[in-house]
Every structure is written in C-alpha cells, then in structure tokens.
Amino acid sequence: MLAALLYGQEDLRLEKVSDPTPGTGEVVIQVGAATTCGTDLKVWRRGGHARMLTPPTLFGHEAAGQIVAVGAGVTDWQVGDRVVANNSAPCMNCFFCQRQEYSLCPNLTWNNGTFAEYLKIPAPIVQHNLLRIPDELPFALAAMTEPLACVLHGVGRSNIKAQDRVVVLGDGAIGLMFVAALAVDAKAEVWLWGGNDHRLEIGKKLGAAKTFNYHQNPDIPGVVKELTQGWGADVVIEATGIPSVWESAIACARPGATVNLFGGCPRDTTITVNTEQLHYSEVTLKGVFHNTPQYVRAALSFIASRKLPLELLISEHRPLKDLEQVFYDMKARKVIKVALTA
C-alpha cells in the first residue's frame, strides 16, 4: 500500500509498504479520509514527538474508514463496518487508570499511520476506543473525533460556568474547535484571538461572540482588561503551543480565573510566572493533555449531531500524493485542516 513515513524534521516520504494484517484482537480499516492536525504539523516541523512517535515511522493520527479485515478473537466488529478509531487507548489497570485519569496513563497504546491506504488498529484501541459511525456521516467529519475529544477534555477541565467570558488564544483548528464546544455545550461568551481574518470569520460562525486580530490588537491582556472593567477573563484557553502566548494567557486572567495551557510547547521550554499574581489572585494554571474514552464518545456524538458546521474547518479535500505540499500549505497557514484520500 501507499503510506506516509516521517523520517525527521520536515522529512516526510510517501512509500510503498506491505499491507497490514490484523493480529489477535486487531482490525484493519481502509482509510476513507485522514485529516491533518496542528499536532501533525508540529511533529513534522520538529521531527518527532515526546510521546506519540519516534521516526522513522508511519505518520498521521486522525482517520475514519471501513473495516476490511478482523483478527482472531474480534467478535463485536465485522468487515464492512464504518468506524473511527482514536489514536490511543489507556491500559485501564495502572495507578492513573484506576482513578479514571486516563490521559495520564503511562502505558497508553499509541497508533500512527492514518496517511495511508490502510490502517491497522491495535487491540486495546479496538477494545476501548473504536466507534461505529452513522451511515450518513462523511468520513472526513468523523475523522475529527480525536482532536475534538481532546478539546472536550480541555473544556471539562477548565472550570467553566454559564455566561463566563472565555478568551481563546489561537485560530487554528484546535482553537476553533474550542470556540464551537464552548459556545454550544458550555454556554460561555467566547472571545477569540488569532492572526487570520478568514479564520476569525469561521470562529464567528462557530459561536465566538467577539473576535480580534492580534496584528491590529497586539496588546491582548490590555484589550481583555479594558473590556472587563480592568479585571480580566474568567477563563483563558491557550491553543497555540507558543511559550510567549502562555505568558499572555496568564496575563489575561482575572483574580480567581482558570488558565488552561492547552497548546503543547517545544520540549524543554519554560515560561515566567508572576508569583504575586498567582498567589494573591488565586489563579489556577492547568495543563491539559490528550483525551479519554468518555470524551472520544462525546466528540463523535457532537460531530454526528451536526449542531455546528464543523465542515468549515476542512479547507480542502486532496489526494494522498499531495501530502507534502499540504504540510507546506499548513505551515504557511493557507489551510486549516485538509482531508486526504488515497
């Protein structure tokens, strides 16, 4: 089959590899659509990921498709089922899993290789994070289950109350998904900051009450405080993975606020925190990582409900052979997400 392999920093190659065959408890799907992700872009630019993969490796982690083969012991699935698989599954046995802190499981089973004709799903994912998708739901939309699950996990960890003023920093796919989730499920007033007017318009369609282009309004904390009688936002969500923006997020927070530092920064980076603000203002700083089986199911349900036009996040549909150019287009911020088919 044709598949993408990551060899290192911005070194992505399409190669012919052996078709996968399922082992015990596993299934193989024919990829109906694989979507690109900001995490993929960061991994491509940095040449690796601290937890998810080590090059050289099959690449990509968002996909939906149809089962074409099942391994021994698989009884709940059959050839022809339309499914979406999360890119991981917890072990369910460790210290953290016993406390239902599944995203912290040190034994997570990871799966990469969605940018390919076929994808093998490991047994733990088949058991815990493989979901059937409705017949009428396009594969490209279902493929966004994994990133939306991460976002819903982030929302769930952000201490948001109805009518809270929530600042979202970042107009990438994740930031825009936060806008959608916050506007519909959390009933919050969302203020979105980004650097692209087209993406900010999509943010409005997904529920943002206010949008700001930081090129025109570079003093983000100053503007937020001006609009909140000098206090700051109730909740701030950082969705860029840039250390300086983490610091801006903290500066936007009112006393008693929660700051969700969601965007993953490069390894070994640090930020500076004002200890006086943190202590006397009782600000909660929270890192949130990945997702859990609960949120994987909630994400697919959200997408299938068609509450909001999440298809606006898919800028293009392209053949797999265009993958390298797609990543350069993502790097240049010409596209948000791209749905790829072999």
Tell me if 235 sits within 8 A of 211, measured CB to CB. Answer: no
Q: What is the mean pLDDT of residues 227-246?
A: 97
Give percent helix, percent strand, percent coil of the chain, each to the nearest 5: 30, 30, 40
Instruction: Give, to the nearest 10 degrees, the angle between helix 173-181 and helix 197-205.
Output: 20
Distance set, CA 32 to CA 138, 244, 313, 340 (Å): 9, 38, 18, 8
Q: What is the pLDDT of residue 50?
A: 66
This prediction's pTM: 0.96
Q: What is the pLDDT of residue 26?
A: 98
- The string of pLDDT tens digits covering residues 76-129 is 999 999 999 999 999 999 999 999 999 999 999 999 999 999 999 999 999 999
pLDDT surpassing 80 at residue 185: no
pLDDT surpassing 70 at residue 210: yes
DSSP alpha helix (H) spans, the chain: 38-46, 123-128, 139-142, 145-156, 173-181, 197-205, 220-226, 243-251, 275-280, 293-305, 323-331
Q: What is the mean pLDDT of residues 258-280?
A: 95
For residues 77 and 72, what is the distance between their CA atoms, to the nearest angstrom?
A: 11
Q: Which amino acid is at 78?
A: Q
- The string of pLDDT tens digits covering residues 195-209 is 999 999 999 999 999
Poorest-confidence range of 179-193, 220-234, 320-334?
A: 179-193
**How confident is residue 267, by pLDDT bands cut at 50, 70 and 90?**
confident
Poorest-confidence range of 33-37, 51-55, 60-64, 150-154?
A: 51-55
pLDDT surpassing 70 at residue 38: yes
**How confident is residue 187, by pLDDT bands cut at 50, 70 and 90?**
confident
**How confident is residue 189, by pLDDT bands cut at 50, 70 and 90?**
very high
- β-pair type (88-89, 109-110): antiparallel
**How confident is residue 170, by pLDDT bands cut at 50, 70 and 90?**
very high
Give φ, ψ of 283 to 5 degrees.
-80, 135
Q: What is the pLDDT of residue 184?
A: 87
Q: What is the pLDDT of residue 49?
A: 78
Q: What is the mean pLDDT of residues 260-279?
A: 94
**How confident is residue 64, by pLDDT bands cut at 50, 70 and 90?**
very high
pLDDT surpassing 90 at residue 136: yes
Q: Which domains does the chain have, with CATH numbers?
A: 2-149+291-341 (3.90.180.10), 158-287 (3.40.50.720)
Q: What is the pLDDT of residue 105?
A: 98
Average predicted confidence (pLDDT) for the chain: 96
**How confident is residue 166, by pLDDT bands cut at 50, 70 and 90?**
very high
Tell me the two tokens of residue 17. 């590899």
Q: What is the pLDDT of residue 46?
A: 87
